[in-house]
A and B are shown apart, each in its own frame.
Chain A
Amino acid sequence: MEFSSVNGIKRPVRLSEATRRFACESLGHKYGLMTKETMSVSLDEIEGFESFTPIQKYDAAIMKIASEAPVRICDGELISGAATLGTAISHQIPATYNGKPVFMSLSHLTADFETVVFKGVGYIRANAEAAYEKYKGTGKEEFAKSCLVCLDAFDIWHKRYLEALKDKGCTDNYNNLCNVPYKPAASFYEAVQSIWFVFAFLRLCGNWPGIGRIDKFLAPFYKADIEKGILTEKRAREILAHFFIKGCEWICGGNYGSGDAQHYQNLVISGVDEDGVDITNPVTYLILDIIEELGISDFPTTVRLNKNSSDRLLYRVAEVMRLGGGVLAVYDEDNVIKAMTEYGYDICEARRFANDGCWEVQVPGKTNFCYIPTDFLQILQKNTLKNYDKSVLFDGFDALYNAYLADVKAFCEGLLSSVLQNNMLKCEDGIWVWRKNIPCTVISLFEQDCVGRGLSYLEGGAVYNVISPHVGGLADTVNSLYAIKKLVFDDKKIGFADLMRVLSENWENCEALRQYALNKYEYYGNDNDEADEICRRFLSDFADICDSLNGRSGYIFPGGVSTFGRQLEWSPQRLACASGRKRGEILAANASPTPGTDRQGATAIIRSYCKNELHKLPVGAALDIRLLPSCTKGDEGLEALVSLLRGFVNLGGFFMQPDVADAEILKAAQDKPEDYQNLSVRVSGWNARFVTLNKEWQDMVIQQNECGCGY
């Protein structure tokens, strides 16, 4: 039984043989394929279904799922519960009417597992019952009733597991599931079971929630149980490992475009608590142990680092990171918390931050979140430069920049007002009210304060409602602007009109100038102040634009930077760039430099990125760093990786996802996928088993590794 690493470093063995075997089975698609045997439940037999209201239909679907979904108890598993309906794997509620799924499900959120662990689902039921009494006879009655129906469904599902465990003679599992998740967890073992059971139920109903700060939730139980002598470190590691292994139950193999492990089941570990006290604890290290040993990539895990993070933590993170797979990423939490408080979040709320299941920062269990990705290079090329039409003329860089910014502003205003129109309704008295949306009671139960307000997660129930416009194509836009500035206005290599013509002709017959643009200028990502300043200025102006749109409705509009692999779809449609890029060539990912333009190494990339006022973008800007496995070997390699993390925090970064991968290994995996079933790579906020990416995505990852190796 071998869990491979990218650089031949042997993964340690700490877990039992049985647990390692369970991991192999799960990673080998056993449970994923089993899950696909029953795709969904059918609502066809329900009398009068067509005349139901949407919420009634939804309630019926959830009730049916809870009552009929297969119960799966894997041999030897330490925790129970499984999301066993295949349609859920494709982000839909697995219930059909006339053969078609009835409702979409939700993602990009981290559910309120803190309440689940410490107060129990019983607490939520008590609130729901009170809410029902309160809202009976009002317009909110139907939602309040739906909360109770979905909690009933949850109870039914819970009872089915208890019965099955009893029948199968799984006494330990049975005993461990009796009190939780209904009551607050009383032990470490119960706490893990509690989180898992609710997580599995949310997933069974088609949702893809993130988990958040699991080491923070589990720490008090671990400490108490160790002190009581009812838990050992080894036993705790085994229990947690089963949590990870069961989280692979949706892996099915095959090609999926962006990979088979993209279910947003993010964890966030380490960092400070509400009072600013570091919560790093033995559970933090157990999680790192498990990722290190099994190489499971399905829970992308982000470590909250700060200037006081211990050497022990940094070295452990680096040790796990260098095995490859891109499982670990890091936040500079000092900067994240600064960004959130400057934006207006209460300091305690800011310190609680986790993410949406990907890397976009949010207050977990309280946030209705969506982001809008946009290719900002398209705005420059199409709107400002009118596809390089000869009528376009700018007599100086500032004139060009200001015109672009005006186009960006107009675009953002249009975008946000249309999103707003879709979700909200402006009444005659100027007040915005929420439009009816698809039912989502199951998620609403686990997002504050939906139950209390009697409003669903999508209809104003959440404490924070966030729509985040995201800048895509950042580096390519900055590089285009910088190259125009240099070629036309500073170095006078070519006139503006001639450059527009050359670009409209995709650099045909102008190879010398194209080479000049490619080779003679240091673009974003090389610590060149002149290029980086354009990036800083633009992101700062963009953040101001977002701010100017705030306060008009129940939504807030914090900005972010991302592409999430969309550069793949965008690149064929983008025209040539003044930076020497020809039509169709690769574009930059997230807030990273354009592959091939970063010549000064990883530290220069981080320096360029950190010059941006990232604290003005409270949702975040992701930086991808690719490192060669050979550069991370030995003590020196480990030191280098630790230095990189330390520097990232010292310079004020936001989110960085380093991936240790080798283009040659990836090519070998493309040729012989059967030998590399579990080789994972960082794609963006998620990891993917490389062989489950389709060819285009694989090629993109290879290209990024070939060009963009920081070291």
Chain B
Amino acid sequence: MRETGKQLLYSAKKCIGCQACTVCKHDVHTFNGFEHEIDREKCVKCGECETACPTSAVQICGREMTVSEIIKEIEKDAAFYGEHGGVTLSGGEPFLQENTVKLLLACKERGINTAVETCGFYAVTAAVPYVDLFLWDIKDTDDERHKKYTGVSNKRIIENLIKADAAGAKTRLRCILVNGVNADETHYKNVADIKSKLKNCTGADVLPYHAFGGAKAELTGQPDTSDKSMIPDEKQIGLFKSYL
């Protein structure tokens, strides 16, 4: 599981070695000559280094906001929404945040269309009345593989999907395609089966794996696990699409 709270981001490219970040009272930032060393374990995400850093090489990613603060942000773009436009909650996983349903309700009260990208692991029934479209991840229909790559079983995800559908949720399936992992026709067929059982599903999109995660991993100090060999080819993508 990834962290759900704030994260300390560091971009070596932007760092000019000015050492302003050593303002930190917890000794997260130390300099060994020009080498900027970061001890993330000690970081309490107070943001003092972020304020001091002139180049924004050090940033605290994540901000606590109230529902009304978020609504204010969303409404800034209200002039652009028209009849079809609106807000898409994304993440991470929006339903990990406890006030997501409140936020969705507040949007609907203001006539703002809502969409939510979800991994489907958490119960969404309470949100269904306030969501115009769920963009629902179906990562893998093979449960063993699902466990291996995501750490959890897919049973709950599929059950949640069926329940949400029964409650009237409009969904669109988002299916990641990873070469060497789930690029097989049994999986394609299973997704098509799930789709055919849904009454309110508007379609399914194939999302080919990409290796752009490396940049983010670098910023958060995590190992880069992205792997270009996992990018599917056009033929695989076409075949998957043909099932959907």
A contacts, CB < 8 Å to B: 511-516, 518-520, 527, 603, 606-607, 639, 642-644, 646-647, 650-651
- B16, B56, B80: which contacts A647 (Cβ < 8 A)? B80
Contacts of A651 in B (CB 8 A): 79
In the complex, identify which listed stretch (B2-10, B81-89, B214-222) lies at the interface while the others stay far away: B81-89
What separation, in Å, do the CA atoms of A639 and B80 have in the docked complex?
10
- The interface residues of chain B, by DSSP majority, are classed as loop
Is B77's CB within 8 Å of the partner chain A?
yes
Q: Which residue of A lies closest to B50 (CB)?
A: A520
- Given known pairs A515-B55, A520-B54, A607-B76, the reply for A643 and B16 (CB within 8 Å) is no
Q: Which residue of B lies closest to A602 (CB)?
A: B80
Q: Is B54's CB under 8 angstroms from A519's CB?
A: yes
Q: Given contacts A519-B56, A603-B76, A650-B80, list 7 more A-B pairs with CB under 8 A.
A: A607-B79, A642-B82, A643-B82, A643-B84, A644-B80, A647-B77, A647-B79
- B16, B76, B80, B82: which contacts A511 (Cβ < 8 A)? B16
Q: Which residue of A lies closest to B77 (CB)?
A: A603
Contacts of A519 in B (CB 8 A): 54-56
Q: Is B84's CB under 8 angstroms from A520's CB?
A: no
Q: Which residue of B lies closest to A644 (CB)?
A: B80
Q: Which residue of A lies closest to B80 (CB)?
A: A647
Q: Is A512's CB under 8 angstroms from B18's CB?
A: yes
B 38-67 binary contact with A (CB < 8 Å = 1; else 0): 000000000000000011100000000000
- B54, B77, B82, B84: which contacts A516 (Cβ < 8 A)? B54
Q: Is A512's CB under 8 angstroms from B20's CB?
A: yes
Q: Which residue of B lies closest to A511 (CB)?
A: B16
Contacts of B84 in A (CB 8 A): 639, 643
- A515, A639, A646, A650: which contacts B16 (Cβ < 8 A)? A515
Contacts of A527 in B (CB 8 A): 76
Contacts of A647 in B (CB 8 A): 77, 79-80
Q: How many interface residues does B have (CB within 8 Å)?
A: 14
Q: Is B56's CB under 8 angstroms from A520's CB?
A: yes
B 75-103 binary contact with A (CB < 8 Å = 1; else 0): 01101111011000000000000000000
A329 to chain B: closest CB distance in Å? 18
B contacts, CB < 8 Å to A: 16, 18, 20, 54-56, 76-77, 79-82, 84-85
Q: Is A643's CB under 8 angstroms from B80's CB?
A: yes
Contacts of A646 in B (CB 8 A): 79-80, 82
Q: Which 10 residue pairs across A and B have the least CB separation, nearest first?
A: A647-B80, A516-B54, A515-B54, A650-B79, A515-B55, A512-B18, A647-B79, A519-B56, A643-B80, A512-B54
Contacts of B76 in A (CB 8 A): 527, 603, 607
Contacts of B79 in A (CB 8 A): 607, 646-647, 650-651
What separation, in Å, do the CA atoms of A515 and B20 have in the docked complex?
12
Q: Is A639's CB under 8 angstroms from B54's CB?
A: no
Q: Is B85's CB under 8 angstroms from A643's CB?
A: yes
Contacts of B80 in A (CB 8 A): 603, 606, 643-644, 646-647, 650
B11 to chain A: closest CB distance in Å? 11
Q: Which residue of B lies closest to A314 (CB)?
A: B82
A596 to chain B: closest CB distance in Å? 13
Q: Which residue of A lies closest to B81 (CB)?
A: A643
A653 to chain B: closest CB distance in Å? 10
What separation, in Å, do the CA atoms of A511 and B80 have in the docked complex?
39
Contacts of A518 in B (CB 8 A): 55
Contacts of B77 in A (CB 8 A): 603, 607, 647
A374 to chain B: closest CB distance in Å? 32
B219 to chain A: closest CB distance in Å? 15
B196 to chain A: closest CB distance in Å? 23
What separation, in Å, do the CA atoms of A607 and B55 have in the docked complex?
26
What would be 21 A-B contacts, judged by CB atoms less than 8 Å apart?
A512-B20, A512-B54, A515-B54, A515-B55, A516-B55, A519-B55, A519-B56, A520-B54, A520-B56, A527-B76, A603-B77, A607-B77, A639-B85, A642-B82, A643-B82, A644-B80, A646-B80, A647-B77, A647-B79, A647-B80, A651-B79
A402 to chain B: closest CB distance in Å? 30
Task: With a 10 A CB-CB cut-off, give which of A514, A516, A644 has the most chain B CB atoms.
Answer: A516
